[in-house]
Structures are given as structure tokens and as C-alpha cells.
């Protein structure tokens, strides 16, 4: 039986209350269960029991060395439904000083940010399969800086994004 999707992620954090506040304010997560030193959060559009678990390990914890000195998880990626929502989140993350990058991956429009512990995450909008063309698919290996306003002009602020990988049927990749 194949795996069909990621159900949830769990992060070790220095201060669980600080992290809960961050994910609630920045991405709209809500706490569905908590106990001292732990919290379980659900994304606003999710039907999962929880999407993110947070476990506190204390303020003395060192920074993650993943990708610099050790192997480990690079980032988590969450999808939003519209480019309008991606633009709103870019503004919120930018105002908080958490936004560290924005990339046009051709089929995916992505924001990169860091939480209070420096753990990186991505928020992305996927071009709907019926809006992809061979030129866009060919450009997937050449990342560019993301211009959200240009993408909104091209696709519309309220156009619902694709789900998962938005590859149209009949197009070779």
C-alpha cells in the first residue's frame, strides 16, 4: 500500500508557548490539544487531528546544525489555496522579520521563512494543472525570484491552486 500524504510533523522547540504564538499569528494554526511542554496544532483548512506537534526542550538548546554540520530535515512545506493568501502571508512574515526568501519554481510559487528557533519552513501555491504548459514545465529546474504581483496578474488572486504536484495529464516531464 503506497503512502498518500504527510499527516503531521513534530518539532523540538526551545519554548512551546512562543512557538504556538508564532504559528498561530503567522500561519493561522490553532491549538487542538496542549499539556505542559507540548502542543498540537491544526492548520485552519485542515481536517487532520493535528498538523504540527511541538515539544519543548528548553532555552539552552543549541541551534539546529541540519544542512550545515549534520544531516537532518531541511524544511516543511505548507500549501495555500490562492495567490492572494500567499501574498497576505508574505506580508505577515515580512512584517515579523521571519521571511527569508521567495522563489518562483515555475510550477510552485514559494515563500521561505524561519520560526523563532530558526527552523525553516515553506508556504507555497501550486499552479493548477490545467494552467500549466510545456514551457512552464520545462522551466522547473531554473528557479527565479518570486514576483507575487506578477503571478497574481497572470493567474488571479483568487484562483485555487493545484493539490500536491500539479502535473497535467498528457504532458511529458
Q: Where are the alpha helices (DSSP H) in the chain?
A: 16-27, 83-95, 134-138, 148-155
From first to last of its 173 residues, the chain has per-residue pLDDT tens of: 788 778 999 999 999 999 999 999 999 999 999 999 999 999 998 999 999 999 999 999 999 888 889 999 999 999 999 999 999 999 999 999 999 999 999 999 999 999 999 999 999 999 998 888 888 888 877 899 999 999 999 999 999 998 755 555 454 54
43 lies in which domain range?
1-57
Torsion-angle region of 138 (φ positive above 0: left; ψ -120 to 50: alpha; else: beta): alpha
pTM for the predicted model, two decimal places: 0.90
**Cβ contact 111:96 at 8 Å:** no
CATH number at residue 101: 3.30.720.110
Q: Flag whether 32 is in a domain.
A: yes
Q: Decide if 170 is inside a domain.
A: no
> 113 and 151: one domain?
yes
User: Is 65 within a domain?
Assistant: no
Query: Could you say which of 32, 57, 82 is where a domain stops?
Result: 57
Indicate if 80 and 53 belong to the same structural domain: no
Amino acid at each position: 500500500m503506497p503512502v498518500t500524504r504527510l499527516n503531521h510533523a513534530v518539532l523540538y522547540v526551545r519554548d512551546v508557548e512562543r512557538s504556538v504564538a508564532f504559528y498561530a499569528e503567522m500561519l493561522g494554526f490553532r491549538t487542538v490539544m496542549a499539556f505542559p511542554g507540548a502542543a498540537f496544532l491544526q492548520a485552519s483548512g485542515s481536517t487532520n487531528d493535528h498538523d504540527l506537534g511541538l515539544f519543548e526542550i528548553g532555552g539552552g538548546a543549541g541551534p539546529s546544525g541540519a544542512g550545515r554540520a549534520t544531516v537532518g530535515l531541511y524544511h516543511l512545506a505548507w500549501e495555500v489555496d490562492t495567490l492572494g493568501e500567499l501574498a497576505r502571508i508574505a506580508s505577515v512574515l515580512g512584517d515579523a522579520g521571519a521571511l527569508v526568501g521567495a522563489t518562483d519554481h515555475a510550477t510552485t510559487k514559494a515563500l521561505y521563512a524561519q520560526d523563532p528557533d530558526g527552523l525553516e519552513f515553506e508556504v507555497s501555491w501550486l499552479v493548477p494543472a490545467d494552467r500549466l504548459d510545456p514551457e512552464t514545465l520545462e522551466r522547473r529546474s531554473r528557479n527565479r525570484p518570486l514576483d507575487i504581483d506578477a503571478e497574481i496578474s497572470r493567474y488571479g488572486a483568487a484562483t485555487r491552486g493545484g493539490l500536491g504536484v500539479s502535473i497535467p495529464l498528457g504532458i511529458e516531464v
